[in-house]
C-alpha cells in the first residue's frame, strides 16, 4: 500500500541519522524516571519544622506531629531555612515554632505559629495534620490547667492527661468514597499527575513532527508524489503513519516502564493502551494539520509550542481541572487533553475498563478524524495551488 511505502521511506530517513534514534528513546526514558519517581507509590510528604524554642512543650508538639501517619517530619534551624526548603520543594509544608512558645502554651496565653505550604492539592491534608497535632497538645494542656485548679500541680495534671489520653473513647472521622471504599489518607493513589504529564508531552512532541511534512513539501517531494496516481489523503496518511507509530511506541514505553519499575498506576492496561493510542492519533492529526498549513519550520516551532503548552494548560494537564472556574471547566471539555485525562481518571480512580471509557475513546477518535480530514484538504490545496 502506498501509504505504507511513504511511511517506510520516512522511517528510513529518520533512522539514517543515528542521533535521532537516541533522541527518540531518550525522551521516554527520562519521562519514565521523572514520572516514576514523582508519581510512583511511596511518596511521603515532608512537613518541616523550624524549632526555635528548646523547651519540653515545644518538643512535645514536634513529637505529636511525628506521630501523624503518612507524613515525615524534618527539622530546620530557623524560619528562613524552612521557607527556602518549602520553596524548593524539599518540604511540602512548614511550621515555625518561635521562641517563647513553650512558656505561652503553659500559661495559656495567645500563641501564633507560622505555617507555610506549597499551593497544591496536598496542602489541606498537611494543614489538618498540623492542626491535629496542635489540637491534641492543646487538649492535654487545657486538661492539665483545669486539673491544677483542683489541688494537683500543672506538671502532675499534664502527666495525668498524657497517661489517660489513650483510654478516652474518641470521636473519629471516617472518610469513604461513595462506593464504601476507604479514601486513602495520602492522595497519591488518586493523583492523575502521571497521566497529565504523559498527555502534555505526547502532544508536544507530536507537534514537533510537523516539521517533517513541511520539509517534504519544501523539498518538492509531496508535489511529485501528487503527480503520481496518489491521493493527497494517502500522502498525509503515509506521513502520519510513521509519526503515529513513533508516538504510540514512546507512550507505551513510558506507561509500561513507569508501571513496572515505579508502580505508577495507570488503571486497566488495555484501557490505558486504547487511550494512549487514540490520543497519539489526535497528536498525529494535529501535527499533520500544522505540517500542511504552515510555510516553514520556524513558524511551526512557534505554533507548536503555543498549541502544545496552551492546549495542555486549557485541558487541565498542568493544573487539575477540579480547580478551574466553572467557565474554564466547560472550555476544558473542548480540548482532547481533558478527554484523555478524564479517561485515565475513569481507569485510575474508578477502576474502569475499556467499556467505561468508550465515550472518551469515541471523542478522541472524532478529533483525530476531523484533524486529519482538514489536514488532507489543506495539503491538497497547498500542493495544487
Partner 1 sequence: MPALLLIASKDVRQRIRDGSAIAMALIAPFGLALIFSLVIGGAAGPTTFRYAVADEDGGSAARTFTTEVLGRAEATGSVTVRHAASAAEARALVEDGAVAAAFLLPAGFSDEVAAGRPAAIRVVGDVDAPTSTAVARAIAGAYAAEVNSVRLAVGTVTAGSGGLDPSEAAALAERLAADPRNVSIDDRTALRRELDAGTFFAAGMTIFFLFFTVQFGISSLFEERTTGTLGRLLAAPVTRPAIVGGKLLASGLVGVLSTSVLILASSLLLGAQWGHPGGVAILVGAGVAAATGVMALVASAARSMEGATNAQAVVAVVLGLVGGTFFPLAQAGRAVELLSLATPHAWFMRGLGDLAAGGGPADVLGPAAAILVFAAAAGGLASTRLGKLVRA
Please, which of residues 141-200 interact with partner 1 by CB under 8 A?
A: 142-144, 146-147, 150-152, 156-157, 160-161, 164-165, 167-178, 183, 187, 190-191, 193, 197, 200
Please check whether residue 187 is in contact with residue 121, taking contact to mean a CB–CB distance below 8 angstroms.
yes
Residue 30 contacts partner 1 per CB under 8 A: yes
User: Which of 50, 76, 102, 212 touches partner 1 by CB under 8 A?
Assistant: 212
Residue 112 contacts partner 1 per CB under 8 A: yes
* Residues in contact with partner 1, shown as a per-residue x/- string from 52 to 91 under the rule CB under 8 A: -------------------------------x--xxxxx-
Residue 105 contacts partner 1 per CB under 8 A: yes
From the list 299, 220, 214, 257, the residue with the least C-alpha distance to 37 is 257
Min dist. Cβ of residue 26 to partner 1 (A) = 7
Please check whether residue 240 is in contact with residue 369, taking contact to mean a CB–CB distance below 8 angstroms.
no
**Alpha-carbon gap, residue 240 to 221, rounded angstroms:** 15
- Interhelix angle 336-349/358-384, rounded to 10 degrees, is 160
User: Which of 110, 229, 384, 385 touches partner 1 by CB under 8 A?
Assistant: 110
Report DSSP state, residue 50: E
Interacting span for partner 1 (CB under 8 A) from 121-129, 222-230, 267-275, 376-384: 121-129
Of residues 136 and 233, the one with the C-beta less far from partner 1: 136
Interacting span for partner 1 (CB under 8 A) from 66-74, 126-134, 237-245, 364-372: 126-134
Residue with cell 511521603: 44
Of residues 94 and 375, the one with the C-beta less far from partner 1: 94
Of residues 79 and 277, the one with the C-beta less far from partner 1: 79
Residue 104 contacts partner 1 per CB under 8 A: yes
β-sheet with 72-76: strand ranges across? 72-76, 46-51, 93-97
Min dist. Cβ of residue 171 to partner 1 (A) = 4
Residue 125 contacts partner 1 per CB under 8 A: yes
User: Which of 99, 260, 270, 318 touches partner 1 by CB under 8 A?
Assistant: 318
Please check whether residue 346 is in contact with residue 338, taking contact to mean a CB–CB distance below 8 angstroms.
no
Burial class from Cβ neighbours inside 10 Å (0-12, 13-18, 19+) for residue 38 reads: middle
Min dist. Cβ of residue 270 to partner 1 (A) = 21
Long-range CB contact pairs, 290-294, < 8 A, 24+ = 290/207, 290/210, 291/209, 291/210, 291/211, 291/212, 291/213, 291/214, 291/217, 291/239, 291/375, 292/213, 292/217, 292/236, 292/375, 292/376, 292/378, 292/379, 292/382, 293/375, 293/378, 293/382, 294/210, 294/214
Min dist. Cβ of residue 90 to partner 1 (A) = 5
Of residues 1 and 189, the one with the C-beta less far from partner 1: 189
Of residues 1 and 305, the one with the C-beta less far from partner 1: 305
Interacting span for partner 1 (CB under 8 A) from 122-130, 265-273, 281-289, 375-383: 122-130
User: CB-based contacts of 348: which residues, under 8 Å, 6+ apart?
Assistant: 189, 190, 192, 195, 265, 266, 267
Min dist. Cβ of residue 301 to partner 1 (A) = 5
Longest dimension (CA), the chain: 104
Of residues 88 and 384, the one with the C-beta less far from partner 1: 88
* Residues in contact with partner 1, shown as a per-residue x/- string from 248 to 267 under the rule CB under 8 A: --------------------
Of residues 205 and 265, the one with the C-beta less far from partner 1: 205
Please check whether residue 50 is in contact with residue 78, taking contact to mean a CB–CB distance below 8 angstroms.
yes
Residue 234 contacts partner 1 per CB under 8 A: no
Of residues 196 and 376, the one with the C-beta less far from partner 1: 196
Amino acid at each position: 500500500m502506498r501509504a505504507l511505502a511513504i511511511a517506510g521511506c520516512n522511517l528510513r530517513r529518520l533512522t539514517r541519522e543515528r542521533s535521532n534514534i537516541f533522541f527518540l528513546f531518550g525522551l521516554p526514558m527520562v519521562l519514565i524516571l521523572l514520572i516514576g519517581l514523582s508519581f510512583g507509590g511511596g511518596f511521603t510528604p515532608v512537613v518541616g519544622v523550624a524549632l526555635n524554642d528548646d523547651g519540653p512543650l515545644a518538643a512535645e508538639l514536634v513529637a505529636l506531629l511525628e506521630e501523624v501517619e503518612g507524613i515525615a517530619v524534618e527539622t530546620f534551624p530557623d524560619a528562613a531555612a524552612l521557607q527556602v526548603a518549602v520553596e524548593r520543594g524539599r518540604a511540602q509544608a512548614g511550621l515555625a515554632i518561635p521562641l517563647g512558645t513553650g512558656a505561652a502554651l503553659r500559661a495559656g496565653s495567645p500563641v501564633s505559629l507560622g505555617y507555610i505550604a506549597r499551593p497544591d492539592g496536598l496542602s489541606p491534608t498537611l494543614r489538618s495534620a498540623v492542626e491535629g497535632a496542635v489540637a491534641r497538645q492543646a487538649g492535654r494542656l487545657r486538661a492539665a490547667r483545669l486539673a491544677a485548679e483542683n489541688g494537683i500541680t500543672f506538671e502532675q495534671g499534664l502527666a495525668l492527661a498524657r497517661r489517660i489520653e489513650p483510654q478516652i473513647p474518641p470521636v473519629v472521622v471516617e472518610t469513604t468514597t461513595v462506593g464504601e471504599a476507604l479514601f486513602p489518607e495520602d492522595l497519591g493513589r488518586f493523583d492523575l499527575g502521571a497521566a497529565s504529564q504523559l498527555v502534555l508531552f505526547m502532544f508536544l512532541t507530536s507537534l514537533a513532527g510537523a516539521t517533517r511534512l513541511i520539509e517534504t513539501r519544501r523539498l518538492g517531494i509531496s508535489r511529485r508524489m501528487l503527480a503520481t496516481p496518489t491521493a493527497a489523503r494517502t500522502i498525509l496518511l503515509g506521513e502520519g503513519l510513521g509519526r503515529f507509530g513513533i508516538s504510540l511506541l514512546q507512550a507505551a514505553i513510558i506507561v509500561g516502564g513507569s508501571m513496572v519499575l515505579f508502580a505508577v498506576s495507570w488503571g486497566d492496561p488495555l484501557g490505558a493502551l486504547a487511550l494512549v493510542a487514540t490520543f497519539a492519533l489526535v497528536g498525529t492529526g494535529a501535527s499533520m494539520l500544522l505540517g500542511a498549513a504552515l510555510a516553514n519550520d520556524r513558524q511551526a516551532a512557534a505554533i507548536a509550542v503555543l498549541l502544545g503548552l496552551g492546549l495542555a494548560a486549557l485541558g487541565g494537564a498542568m493544573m487539575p481541572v477540579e480547580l478551574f472556574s466553572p467557565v474554564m471547566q466547560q472550555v476544558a471539555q473542548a480540548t482532547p487533553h481533558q478527554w484523555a485525562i478524564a479517561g485515565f481518571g475513569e481507569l485510575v480512580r474508578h477502576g474502569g475498563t475499556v467499556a467505561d471509557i468508550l465515550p472518551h475513546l469515541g471523542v478522541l477518535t472524532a478529533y483525530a478524524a476531523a484533524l486529519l480530514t482538514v489536514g488532507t484538504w489543506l495539503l491538497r490545496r497547498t500542493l495544487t495551488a
